[in-house]
Structure 1
Amino acid sequence: MRKLKRRIRVKKLIKATIAVIVIFGLLVYLNNASFLARPIDDRPVLAAHRGLSQDYSREGLNNETCTAAQMLPTPHDYLENTIPSMQAAFAAGADLVEFDVHRTTDDYFAVFHDWTVDCRTNGTGVTREHSLASLQSLDIGYGYTSDGGKTYPFRGKGVGMMPSLAEVLDTFPDRNLIIDVKSRDRSEGELLADRLAALPPQRQARIMVYGGDRPVSVIREQLPEVKTIWLRRLKHCLTRYIALGWTGYVPNTCDRSMLLIPVNYARLMWGWPNRFLQRMKKVDTQVFLVGDYRGEGFSQGFDQPDRLKDLPANYAGGIWTDRIDLIAPAIKETG
């Protein structure tokens, strides 16, 4: 009799445990169900990485690669990080344009990607060890070649085309901009914060800054209107959210940020896409999808129009692309 009662109690306990697990699973599911959350907008937000630029081969890409020497055939003559390339990107349909900055020896900011000028220009040396005037005298189209150096189609066409940060801000006073700080020098962040602090708060709110942790953390400390992110903070935000986001919890390292998420990892985000995007919007954070991450240390932009079919229906988050000239028209066609 005792054994029978014990078996009955065990069965009841098992049933109760299963019921609790099922109810708990159902609550977690409903709490993160994307279909129960409305899209945050009626279309994706498009960010043009470095404006409209020359495409390049990613084969063998590493931190030392001179991408200008791996140029691919591209149906336009724009060079990255120039005023014309940014104007063309906005005209093509970009909502934001990203560009890179380096501090100069005379305390300006030059808009240029590479740590040294040797690859793209006819100059030599570390970019931040030049004055602004010196940098702006260079030919930024000098090093571009698609045939191993047999021809250089942009030589002579890029003289004086490297803009300053001030020129970009003056040219696009009402546009959304993303600034990539290429150094890890805290003093560079202090100088940039000083420059951006001169802008009205509503203008600051249209600017995002990412890059080196030390300079970008200064921007975060001093300019609450500006969204910021750096790699360690991004990793902390996403790993904590993957671990705890099923509860609806959003780590404070996700607040007031811009998140770059490889498209092949996006489904790991609890509530993807609508619920996740709503949660990020509530903490004043913009999410951008980038291309697949394969573990090699690089994830290129979302650049192939045929990949748009992989996006969730009614996706209204951000898309980070190196080919705004391809992605914007494709979005318009599918929208």
Structure 2
Amino acid sequence: MENIKSAPKKKRLRRIFFWAFLTLLLYMWVVNSSFLASPPDGSPFLLAHRGVAQTFHMEGITNETCTAEQIYPPEHPYLENTLPSMRAAFAAGADAVELDVHWTKDSQFAVFHDWTLGCRTNGEGVTRDFTMSELKKLDVGYNYTADGGRTYPFRGKGVGLMPSLDEVLTEFPTESLLIHIKSNDPNEGKALAAFLQPLPKERLAKLAVYGGDEPVATLKQAMPELRVMSMSTMKSCLIPYIAVGWSGYVPDACAGTQLHIPDQIAPWLWGWPNRFMERMEAADTRVILVAGSGDFSQGFDTPADLNRVPEKFNGGIWTNRIDRIGPLLHKKSETK
């Protein structure tokens, strides 16, 4: 008799649970639906990885691969991380240029990608074992080859082209730059802070820094107003956002920072794209869309790649071929 009386009660509880769950799902859909969000204002901005650079085969690439030894046949005369390549990137339509820095023996920052010199140049060793003037004597195009070493099209053309960070900031006093600290040495973060702190506020607003957790944390502690990104800052923002972002909550760790979001992962973020971008803009968080899974700096480098960028997206687009994508994207903007 007691079981018969409790049956309707259990049925009511199941019905309440069902409608509560359905209401929660509906709430999550409404709160995170891009269809119901206002389209973001503005156009996407282009971030040129290493300026105008020679690109290379990605098959089988690892952290130990010397990419200078597997470039595609050259289509332009520029070498990455040089002043001419940065000038060409801005001329092609880049809104910002990414560059890599390493500490030198005479306490400067050399703009160069690799930790060691042997892959690209006619030198050996690491940058911090040399002064800036010694590094300028190297040929930064010495070992580039597209045919397995039969020819070296840039040999002899890169002598003196490795710039210092000071030279880059002098050459581009108002342009946006993304500085990549290649090491995980906290002392480099401290040194970079000392280098950047004398700059005026309006110049710092056009700069961002990313790299290893330790130097970025040290830099951010010294310069809390500077926009930074590291794997640690990304996790601090995105892990709690993935957990509770369905509610519209944006973690405090996201504020005033920068996110590099692989386009294979982006659709899994709550509210992607319009709601997500709306929330990040409100938190003064800059979003850069990178291609693929985020491995090895893949970019949006072909017209077909751009088809994967959400319509009305107004964040950054990472590209390794600004010479191709810049004119194409700006042409599309003019026809809209």
TM-score normalised by the shorter chain: which range applies?
over 0.9
The equivalent residue for 1:324 is 322
Question: Aligned ranges for residues 134-283 of structure 1 at < 5 Å?
Answer: 134-283=134-283
Distance in structure 1 (CA, Å) of the matches to 2:138 and 2:40: 44
The equivalent residue for 1:314 is 312
Distance in structure 1 (CA, Å) of the matches to 2:239 and 2:247: 14
Residue 89 of structure 1 pairs with residue 97 of structure 2: no
Question: Which of 218-227 and 84-93 deviates more?
Answer: 218-227
Distance in structure 2 (CA, Å) of the matches to 1:278 and 1:35: 13
How far the C-alpha of 1:304 sits from its partner, in A, is: 2.3
SS at match of 1:188: helix
Residue 71 of structure 1 pairs with residue 62 of structure 2: no
**Residue 320 of structure 2 aligns to which amino acid in structure 1?**
D
SS at match of 1:57: coil
Q: Is the 8 A contact 2:93 2:330 kept in 1?
A: no
Q: How many residues align?
A: 333
Residue 305 of structure 1 pairs with residue 303 of structure 2: yes
Distance in structure 2 (CA, Å) of the matches to 1:48 and 1:299: 11
How far the C-alpha of 1:112 sits from its partner, in A, is: 0.4
Residue 55 of structure 1 pairs with residue 55 of structure 2: yes
Q: Is the 8 A contact 2:56 2:70 kept in 1?
A: yes
Q: Is the 8 A contact 2:105 2:127 kept in 1?
A: no
Q: Is the 8 A contact 1:44 1:317 kept in 2?
A: yes
Q: Is the 8 A contact 2:40 2:312 kept in 1?
A: no
Q: Is the 8 A contact 1:292 1:299 kept in 2?
A: no
SS at match of 1:259: strand
Q: Structure 1 residues 194, 18: closer, same or farther in 2, change over 3 A?
A: same
SS at match of 2:296: coil
Distance in structure 2 (CA, Å) of the matches to 1:163 and 1:43: 31
How far the C-alpha of 1:237 sits from its partner, in A, is: 2.3
Distance in structure 2 (CA, Å) of the matches to 1:39 and 1:81: 35
**Residue 174 of structure 2 aligns to which amino acid in structure 1?**
D
Distance in structure 2 (CA, Å) of the matches to 1:257 and 1:138: 36
**Residue 101 of structure 2 aligns to which amino acid in structure 1?**
V
**Residue 165 of structure 1 aligns to which amino acid in structure 2?**
L
Distance in structure 2 (CA, Å) of the matches to 1:333 and 1:3: 73
Distance in structure 2 (CA, Å) of the matches to 1:94 and 1:29: 36
Distance in structure 2 (CA, Å) of the matches to 1:174 and 1:130: 30
Distance in structure 1 (CA, Å) of the matches to 2:103 and 2:39: 40
How far the C-alpha of 1:166 sits from its partner, in A, is: 0.6
* Superposed CA offset, 1:83-110 (max 9, x none): 1111111111111100000111111111
Distance in structure 2 (CA, Å) of the matches to 1:226 and 1:25: 38
**Residue 46 of structure 1 aligns to which amino acid in structure 2?**
L
How far the C-alpha of 1:285 sits from its partner, in A, is: 1.4
SS at match of 1:288: strand
Distance in structure 2 (CA, Å) of the matches to 1:173 and 1:315: 28
Distance in structure 2 (CA, Å) of the matches to 1:251 and 1:65: 37
Residue identity (%)? 52
* Superposed CA offset, 1:118-155 (max 9, x none): 11111111112110000111111111100111111111
Distance in structure 2 (CA, Å) of the matches to 1:90 and 1:41: 23
Give structure 2 stretches of 5+ with no counterpart.
none
Cα RMSD of the aligned pairs, angstroms, is 1.6
**Residue 313 of structure 1 aligns to which amino acid in structure 2?**
E
How far the C-alpha of 1:255 sits from its partner, in A, is: 2.3
TM-score, normalised by the number of residues in structure 1: 0.95
* Superposed CA offset, 1:272-325 (max 9, x none): 01111121122221111111118xx53512222202222222111211111111
Q: Structure 1 residues 12, 71: closer, same or farther in 2, change over 3 A?
A: same
